[in-house]
Amino acid sequence: MGVKLGILGLGTVGAGTVQLLQDATGRHPLLEELEIYRVGVRSLDKPRAVELPADIITTDLESIVNDPAVDIVVEVMGGLEPARSLILQALKNGKHVVTANKAAIARFGNEIFTTANEAGVYVMLEAAVGGGIPVIQPLKQSLSVNRIHTVTGIVNGTTNYILTRMQQEGSNFEDVLADAQKLGYAEADPTADVDGLDAGDKIAILASLAFGGRIHLQDVYCEGIRQVSKTDIAYAEKLGFVIKLLAIAKLHGQDTSKLSVRVHPTLLPKAHPLASINGVYNAILVEGEPIGQVMFFGPGAGAGATASAVSSDILNLTATLKTKTASETKPNPLLACRHQDYCQIAPISELVTRFYTRFLTKDQSGVIGKLGTCFGNYGVSLESVVQTGFQGDLAEIVVVTHDVKEGDFRQALTEIHNLEAIDSIPSLLRVL
Ligand SMILES: NC(=O)C1=CN([C@@H]2O[C@H](COP(=O)(O)OP(=O)(O)OC[C@H]3O[C@@H](n4cnc5c(N)ncnc54)[C@H](OP(=O)(O)O)[C@@H]3O)[C@@H](O)[C@H]2O)C=CC1
Ligand SMILES: N[C@@H](CC=O)C(=O)O
Ligand code: NA
């Protein structure tokens, strides 16, 4: 008997998935077992990228998750509600769920996975992080015997696409964002991409898998790319760096009971493995013991790539359904969520990192000395100080520090702000 799919959403990812499932030749033979049984949308009048019988498309999404014939619900509609309620209802009805919705999982993962465990069904989310890149399954299965200490990723395709074009073509932020939206990379509301929140959702999910605990999303520090200017990209280039929006989850120094989980634009040395990841591509570098370093690379957004991840989850569940025996009641621990407790996250003020800062100062003698004194008062040691140019009649000074505790660095900056010679501090970026 075929496995019946109820698909919620027929936009970029939904249509991409239908297209892939309708074109099964040369792919895994289990795809032949699948039936696109019902599809839920918001509007019946929209032109669609795929052809489906009109009678399987509905705007009544609840009827899909409550339909006893549906085996797997594929949630590719996005947003928080009604996605959350529909996922929970599907699980309570004993249906497995595949979702690409990192926003819902990062916020409601606790109740979603608890409900799934109680119902003895699975929630699969390969598409939710890194688009088409297999990274969820590898963390849950292939790498699960490792003690992981750091996960560093470029996990938002839209912002990587924008930063790459700003860097390579000197393009303007707004124009490139419009292109990312046309290409189907950006979220319905692109502020989630641009302000680092989408990457925040994704690193919360990766941290949970890598470090074996749930994550309170409000503990994840998020900064987006709005403040990254062409000037900073050019300075970074001269200093031997590229600027990337990094999502980082790592053990907090020697204190293995705490994590640091954060998203921010970062100056990355050009030789770093993530520095050459450009355009819509994503990459996730996982470091642990005994594996050392392993990096996952591929397209992080877009219809086909994301459909590949969604369909692989559907296939995994299909195999589970096909091989399940009547006496089998225990969940597969490599597919189910096993986390109960929350990880402790250190505040950003405790982070130890290097900083890049650009100052605009009055063109007076002794300004660099005053900066050095203020930094010295808070134990901030400087790796380089460069005064290359002027903006109008203001001198531009760029400073890169050695490792310093963020709280101490911020205190020094407050003192510097009050110096008569300082006009403004247009940029402050962390350096890996
Ligand atoms: N785009 C990408 O590259 C990636 C997206 N994702 C995630 O996949 C999910 C879907 O994204 P994407 O395909 O880009 O989104 P789209 O906006 O392109 O598609 C959303 C689809 O869901 C339907 N929908 C949304 N809300 C409702 C509702 N309240 N009732 C009925 N139908 C609804 C829409 O219907 P209608 O068409 O009628 O408006 C549309 O078909 C999101 O969670 C996103 O974060 C994950 C990885 C990559
Ligand atoms: N908007 C997201 C889509 C994939 O998750 C991105 O740009 O990465
Ligand atoms: Na993925």
Per the listing, tokens 């000037």 go with 231
Range in 108-117, 291-300, 361-370 with the lowest mean pLDDT: 361-370
In ligand 1, the atom with minimum distance to the C-alpha of 13 is 13
Query: What pLDDT score was predicted for residue 326?
Result: 72
Query: What pLDDT score was predicted for residue 247?
Result: 98
Domain extent listing, the chain: 3-129+303-323, 136-299, 350-431
Ligand 1 contact, 217 CB (< 6 A): no
Order of strands, sheet of 57-58, starting from the edge strand that comes earlier in the sequence? 57-58, 34-40, 3-8, 72-75, 96-99, 123-124
3-129+303-323 and 136-299: identical CATH topology? no
Most confident of 116-125, 181-190, 360-369: 116-125
Among 12, 60, 99, name the best residue to mutate to test ligand 1's pocket (greatest count of ligand atoms within 8 A of Cβ).
12
**Which whole number is the average pLDDT over 386-414?**
93
What pTM does this model have? 0.96
**Which whole number is the average pLDDT over 227-241?**
93
Q: Could you tell me the distance, in angstroms and rounded to a whole number, from the CA of residue 134 to the centre of ligand 3?
A: 5
- Assess whether pLDDT exceeds 70 at residue 293: yes
| pLDDT tens, position by position, 250-292 | 999 887 889 999 999 999 999 999 999 999 999 999 999 999 9
Query: What pLDDT score was predicted for residue 340?
Result: 76
DSSP letter string over 99-159?
E--HHHHHHHHHHHHHHHHHHT--EE-GGGTTTTS--HHIIIIITTTSEEEEEEEE--HHH
**Which whole number is the average pLDDT over 212-225?**
96
In whole angstroms, give the CA distance from residue 376 to residue 419: 15
Q: Which amino acid is at 254?
A: Q
In ligand 1, the atom with minimum distance to the C-alpha of 79 is 43
Query: What's the token pair of residue 156?
Result: 């938002």
| pLDDT tens, position by position, 143-165 | 999 999 999 999 999 999 999 99
The class level of CATH for 3-129+303-323 reads alpha beta
- Assess whether pLDDT exceeds 70 at residue 27: yes
Query: What pLDDT score was predicted for residue 339?
Result: 77
Q: Could you tell me the distance, in angstroms and rounded to a whole number, from the CA of residue 157 to the centre of ligand 2?
A: 5
Residue 396 banded pLDDT, cuts 50, 70, 90: very high
Asked if 259 and 207 count as a contact pair (C-beta separation under 8 A), the reply is yes
User: To 10 degrees, the CA torsion angle through 283, 129, 220, 378?
Assistant: 0
**H or E element that contains 384:** strand 382-391
| pLDDT tens, position by position, 294-332 | 999 999 999 999 999 999 999 999 999 998 877 777 888
**Which whole number is the average pLDDT over 30-59?**
97
| pLDDT tens, position by position, 74-94 | 999 999 999 999 999 999 999
Average pLDDT, the chain: 95
Residue 372 banded pLDDT, cuts 50, 70, 90: very high
In whole angstroms, give the CA distance from residue 385 to residue 406: 19
- The beta strand positions in 46-95, using DSSP E, are 57-58, 72-75
Ligand 1 contact, 309 CB (< 6 A): no
Superfamily of chain region 136-299:
Dihydrodipicolinate Reductase; domain 2 (3.30.360.10)
Query: What pLDDT score was predicted for residue 333?
Result: 85
Residue 219 banded pLDDT, cuts 50, 70, 90: very high
User: To 10 degrees, the CA torsion angle through 405, 409, 414, 416?
Assistant: 160
Query: What pLDDT score was predicted for residue 388?
Result: 75
Query: What pLDDT score was predicted for residue 86?
Result: 98
In whole angstroms, give the CA distance from residue 319 to residue 172: 47
Ligand 1 contact, 282 CB (< 6 A): no
Residue 423 banded pLDDT, cuts 50, 70, 90: very high
Query: What pLDDT score was predicted for residue 1?
Result: 67
In ligand 2, the atom with minimum distance to the C-alpha of 127 is 5
State the ligand closest to the CA atom of 157: 2
Among 158, 176, 245, 284, name the best residue to mutate to test ligand 2's pocket (greatest count of ligand atoms within 8 A of Cβ).
158
DSSP letter string over 88-116?
HHHHHTT-EEEE--HHHHHHHHHHHHHHH
In ligand 2, the atom with minimum distance to the C-alpha of 190 is 1
Ligand 1 contact, 99 CB (< 6 A): no
Q: With CA atoms as reference, report the closest residue to 297 among 310, 279, 315, 313.
A: 279
Query: What pLDDT score was predicted for residue 174?
Result: 85
Superfamily of chain region 350-431:
ACT domain (3.30.70.260)
Among 193, 278, 308, name the best residue to mutate to test ligand 2's pocket (greatest count of ligand atoms within 8 A of Cβ).
193
**Annotated catalytic sites, by residue?**
202
DSSP letter string over 32-51?
GGEEEEEEE-S-SSS--SS-
Residue 402 banded pLDDT, cuts 50, 70, 90: very high
